[in-house]
Amino acid sequence: MSLLEVRGVTKAFDRTPVLQGVDLDVPSGALAAVLGPSGCGKTTLLRVIAGFERASGGTVTVGDRLLAGPGRHVAPERRRVAVVPQEGALFPHLSVAGNVAYGLPRSAPRRDRRVAELLELVGLQGYEQRMPAELSGGQQQRVALARALAPDPVVILLDEPFSALDAGLRASVRADVRSALHASGATAVLVTHDQEEALSTADVVAVMRDGRVVQAGTPQEIYRTPHDIDVARFVGEAVIIPATVRDGVVWTTLGALPLAGAAADGVGMAVLRPEQVILVPEADGLPARVLDTVFYGHDANVMLEVRCPGDVLMPVMCRTQGDLPRSESVGVRIVGPVTWFPKRPYDVMPAGAQDAASA
């Protein structure tokens, strides 16, 4: 059951609509990521949930408590909603223990015990007396999380908490924060524009665009069955090719492919993920040539030019374990079902689309 429910929330600044009817459900104890491009309204949504901004319309409910709605605006400090800001924002003159204890009432029993418990939860036991300046960026972020968890909030909001960390540190701090949140049982909302972060960290992902949540689901659902072509492009890498659906089969220049889900007959675009493009011996697949390889260490993205029937050249990306020299000849086969979207009036179909559509 959802603990946090956002229904039809709107917010305008000087008559400019920023949130245009946001719906968001976060189950109790779950970590939800709100994922969207810069400027789509993610921070504004967090600020409305925290109570720093008044919604122009809609409701925010936590459990059976209405926090914001028509004629109602519970003050931020009475919401039991905590915020971890972008760069942690620790008090520089207070020790780690001082920072964590800041949110606890002075009279709280077992104050020191609680601080120690929280530092253990975020993997910083024994750091009580350190000053923020003596901590790495990742450690500061974990102290900020401990400080936010201290008063036992019902909901915790994290605004791009890893954006200031360098790439190497980000993945490990993310994993630590994720396990600390799960161990604390808190219900959390993380705002990010980084799709990899959303997919790898969250239990539920809500994709935001132009002030609305356009799709919400598990990371697997969002990646495998995107709601539209823009979500497909935004979440993970996508190979988008013109395609026609006829009788439940997706016809493309790369061949007839199985359809994921169901669709009525029509002209449109199919979305393949690079891992669905498999390299095979030349004789066993469509002939292709390596255009370029981008090496990431753990794997590489290889840009290929596939020679399709009718001599149509189709650029396609695949993922490999190793490097492939430029101009190398390979064979290509597509595996697994593909998502398909009907053509919208404003979609520009790539060259060769009509050939594919009528293939």
Ligand X SMILES: Nc1ncnc2c1ncn2[C@@H]1O[C@H](COP(=O)(O)OP(=O)(O)OP(=O)(O)O)[C@@H](O)[C@H]1O
Site string for ligand X, 157-196 (x = CB under 6 A): ------------------------------------x---
Binding part of the chain for ligand X, among 37-45, 136-144, 145-153, 212-220 by CB under 6 A, reads: 37-45
Rounded to whole angstroms, the Cα distance separating 231 from 210 reads: 12
Q: Tell me: does residue 15 bind ligand X (CB under 6 A).
A: no
Tokens coding 179: 């396990």
Nearest one of 197, 225, 256, 179 to 341, comparing CA atoms = 225
Q: Between 13 and 102, name the residue whose CB sits nearer to ligand X.
A: 13
Least separation in angstroms between residue 39's CB and ligand X is 5
Least separation in angstroms between residue 19's CB and ligand X is 8
Least separation in angstroms between residue 16's CB and ligand X is 7
**Contacts with ligand X: how many residues (CB under 6 A)?**
11
Q: Which helix (H) or strand (E) holds 4?
A: strand 2-13
Q: Tell me: does residue 44 bind ligand X (CB under 6 A).
A: yes
Q: Between 54 and 72, name the residue whose CB sits nearer to ligand X.
A: 54
Q: Between 39 and 126, name the residue whose CB sits nearer to ligand X.
A: 39
Read off the amino acid at residue 225: T
Least separation in angstroms between residue 163's CB and ligand X is 9
Nearest one of 255, 271, 264, 230 to 356, comparing CA atoms = 255
Q: Tell me: does residue 42 bind ligand X (CB under 6 A).
A: yes
Q: Between 18 and 118, name the residue whose CB sits nearer to ligand X.
A: 18
Residue 101's CB: how many other CB atoms inside 10 A? Answer: 22
Binding part of the chain for ligand X, among 21-29, 40-48, 73-81, 130-138 by CB under 6 A, reads: 40-48
Exactly one of 4, 6, 9, 18 binds ligand X (CB under 6 A); that residue is 18
Q: Between 231 and 239, name the residue whose CB sits nearer to ligand X.
A: 231
Q: Find the binding residues for ligand X in span 194-233 (CB under 6 A).
A: none
Nearest one of 161, 180, 146 to 85, comparing CA atoms = 161
Q: Between 160 and 176, name the residue whose CB sits nearer to ligand X.
A: 160
Least separation in angstroms between residue 234's CB and ligand X is 13
Exactly one of 43, 99, 140, 195 binds ligand X (CB under 6 A); that residue is 43
Q: b/e string for 168-188 if b means 16 or more Cβ within 10 A? A: ebbeebbebbbebbeebebbb
Least separation in angstroms between residue 162's CB and ligand X is 13
Residues 356, 244 contacting (CB under 8 angstroms): yes
Residues in the chain: 359
Least separation in angstroms between residue 337's CB and ligand X is 32
Say if residue 226 is exposed, middle or buried (CB neighbours under 10 Å; 0-12, 13-18, 19+). Answer: buried
Q: Tell me: does residue 50 bind ligand X (CB under 6 A).
A: no
Residues 29, 219 contacting (CB under 8 angstroms): no
| CA-angle at 178, arms to 172 and 179, nearest 5° | 95
Rounded to whole angstroms, the Cα distance separating 345 from 157 reads: 38
Q: Tell me: does residue 38 bind ligand X (CB under 6 A).
A: yes
Q: Between 36 and 274, name the residue whose CB sits nearer to ligand X.
A: 36
Rounded to whole angstroms, the Cα distance separating 2 from 279 reads: 44
Handedness of CA 187, 190, 191, 194 (dihedral sign): negative
- Rule CB under 6 A: which residues touch ligand X? 13, 18, 36, 38-44, 193
